[in-house]
Structure 1
């Protein structure tokens, strides 16, 4: 697993990204210092991400607490597979999420992916292994690799908030589609994860009304 940036590393990487792409200067100037959004990794981290999707933060936290308690305080592939779908649903999971939990656990147990040694794979190989699992889409795989595995050069271009922040940075009328956003993000290698954090931070600050989104000068 790659070690995430320390705070001074983040600041240095932000400056490098702006040097690589001056269009991010506004985002950098308007976004306070931030830490790496680190989450638990491995099977537990991916299952947790699936549980969190499409529900409120409070609901996700409550459901995950029940999942942890129901699995005996240790969320492992083996314990998850040993728990039937209906029991997982009794913890608050939808049948879809309970099924995806089994699919992820089965992929590990069957050796199709090894969460204990995922760091041995390149970003591309790890992403391919993850998206081969039913229920794990590209956005989920990319955000998992960034937040749970600490990978430094990931950019989840399908994220709407990132696309909107990119539109602001470029002064564009329309936000870029996913394919165009991937191409645009190439300019930020090898710090695409920091660029994503920066754009998310800027987007959140604007939406919360903490900073004014001024139109760039021609």
Structure 2
């Protein structure tokens, strides 16, 4: 069964998690409800997520905005017409140029359909996208959470979520992934929403104090 979430019940899910986990409750009490981060199920969204791999969100957005200026509408057919030189001017590394071209070619050929992804279970989405070079578990997790609104994912490869969890639960820095995944299991079946609370905590905690 494919389980998703929407804006209509989002705060209720946050409240459910807060009732079960005092650390998450403390985040809501101190910082309010987290945004419901979503993106459309488009080629541009996957390009954006690929650009976010291992760089700051600001750097990724700068590259995406350059690409938007170049193309207008970020579509796979148009992307494939761009030269390496043009993409370098859009802040694309050689690796990410290759990754996005592979994705664009898969979409243009019909080997991958983003519309079909909406009807597929999480693991089948992971299998199909994961077959493309440059698209690993972190990228797929973010796509499932943001574009498909799948409700029960914890992206253990996401440093912001992991660091927020360690801080919130006073865990040692060397805590293993298996331990983190096990703890996140306590938030099932709403691990995506719990992750958004973690991101909210991470971002809110980094804001400078008001004077």
Q: So what's the TM-score if we normalise by structure 1?
A: 0.82
The answer (yes or no) to whether the contact 2:53–2:139 under 8 Å persists in 1 is no
- Residue in 1 aligned with 2:119? 120
In the alignment, structure 1 residue 182 sits paired with structure 2 residue 194: no
Q: 1:32 to 1:140 in 2, by over 3 A?
A: same
CA shift, 1:56, in A, is 4.7
The answer (yes or no) to whether the contact 1:85–1:99 under 8 Å persists in 2 is no
User: Which ranges of structure 2 fall in alignment gaps of 5 or more residues?
Assistant: none
- Residue in 1 aligned with 2:196? 197
Q: 1:161 to 1:60 in 2, by over 3 A?
A: closer
Q: 1:84 to 1:179 in 2, by over 3 A?
A: farther
- Residue in 1 aligned with 2:42? 42
- CA displacement 1:83-135 (0-9 Å, x = unmatched): 34333223331111111110111222344421122111111211222222111
Q: State the alpha-carbon separation in 2 of the partners of residues 43 and 150 from structure 1.
A: 16
- Residue in 2 aligned with 1:148? 147
**Equivalent runs, 1:29-108 vs 2, <5 Å:** 29-71=29-71, 73-108=72-107
Q: State the alpha-carbon separation in 2 of the partners of residues 84 and 209 from structure 1.
A: 41
Q: State the alpha-carbon separation in 1 of the partners of residues 142 and 49 from structure 2.
A: 9
- CA displacement 1:123-156 (0-9 Å, x = unmatched): 1211222222111121111012111222222211
The answer (yes or no) to whether the contact 2:77–2:108 under 8 Å persists in 1 is yes
Q: State the alpha-carbon separation in 2 of the partners of residues 16 and 124 from structure 1.
A: 26
The answer (yes or no) to whether the contact 1:100–1:134 under 8 Å persists in 2 is yes
Q: State the alpha-carbon separation in 2 of the partners of residues 42 and 77 from structure 1.
A: 10
- Residue in 2 aligned with 1:5? 6
CA shift, 1:207, in A, is 2.6
The answer (yes or no) to whether the contact 1:163–1:176 under 8 Å persists in 2 is no
CA RMSD of aligned residues (A): 2.6
The answer (yes or no) to whether the contact 1:153–1:192 under 8 Å persists in 2 is yes
Single out whichever of 80-89 and 199-208 deviates more from structure 2: 80-89
CA shift, 1:70, in A, is 2.5
Q: State the alpha-carbon separation in 1 of the partners of residues 68 and 4 from structure 2.
A: 26
User: Which ranges of structure 1 fall in alignment gaps of 5 or more residues?
Assistant: 212-218
Q: So what's the TM-score if we normalise by structure 2?
A: 0.84
Q: State the alpha-carbon separation in 1 of the partners of residues 90 and 171 from structure 2.
A: 45
